[in-house]
Structure 1
Amino acid sequence: NKQLQLVTQLNEKFLYYEQELKSISVDQIDDVDVIKSMLNDLFKQYDILRKIGYDIQSKYEQAKLYCTLFSDAALE
């Protein structure tokens, strides 16, 4: 099933980004911008999946939270 493969890939990406985020300190703004960009892409993909009915609300909310946190950090 193609949609199931997509969900699996997104879950793997999310875990990777989560590890990357945990290893970044706020003074590494260039890295934060890169991660923020990746997260925004991920967030968009989750949004598409959510709209077609997958129950991924918690990860979607988590991606949204990371985007917000790192946007705020980049602005400081």
Structure 2
Amino acid sequence: MYAHENGQHYGLLADLECGTALWLRWAGPDVELVVLPDCPVAGRGPDREGCCLFAGHATQHTWEEPHPMEDPCTS
């Protein structure tokens, strides 16, 4: 079983005003539109790449290396 098969899921629909985005949020058959603030965390490198997820997300930041168990393409 993969970690993304249970719990809430999110899908980015559109960037809105500076610092917020429109997301789809679903768990099973229930789906809703939500406006969430952007994740404020930036990477440590010289380019200071920003995270492309929302504030308070439960997984790694988008600029971090994925955990091998989270990649379904490697199984």
The structure where helix makes up a greater share of residues is 1
The structure where strand makes up a greater share of residues is 2
Identify the structure with bigger relative contact order (alpha carbons < 8 Å, sequence gap 6+): 1
TM over 0.5: no
User: How does the TM-score come out when normalised to structure 1?
Assistant: 0.25
